[in-house]
Amino acid sequence: MADQAAAAAVAKTLLADRIALVNSLGDALDVHRKQDTAATQARDAAHQGAESARTAYAAALAGGWTAQQLSDAGLRPPKAPRIRKPRPEHTPVPVENNHSPAEPAAPTVG
């Protein structure tokens, strides 16, 4: 009975250590999700701000300002976002099987 109680105590300790690891992992994943959400929101806000600046720049040009005058005044719009080409889908290259089954040896006549 004493051996069983000792084994149970060791098992509880090991289990507690493993539970602590899972809790730590869960906490870290929660922090990551929150940070990822905040980063996405910040990126979206930056894109919206840049689009607003480009629209205002276009309005200034339409209102009679030249690009050179605006540039001389330090008023340059953010660059337009780059259009990314979609990545081609990865198609696995078939592996050639250069190994043919061994042909049986011809019987020797002796």
The model's pLDDT over 72-103, given as tens digits with 9 standing for 90+, comes to 999 999 998 887 788 888 776 666 655 555 55
Query: Is residue 96 one of the residues assigned to a domain?
Result: no
Domain span at residue 60?
Answer: 2-72
Query: Is residue 32 one of the residues assigned to a domain?
Result: yes
How many structural domains are present in the chain?
A: 1
Q: How far apart are CA 13 and CA 16, in angstroms?
A: 5
**pLDDT digits over 19-37, tens only?**
999 999 999 999 999 999 9
Query: Is residue 62 one of the residues assigned to a domain?
Result: yes
Asked whether 75 and 57 are in contact (CB, 8 A), the reply is yes
Q: How far is CA 13 from the centre of its chain?
A: 37
Query: Is residue 100 one of the residues assigned to a domain?
Result: no
Asked whether 80 and 58 are in contact (CB, 8 A), the reply is no
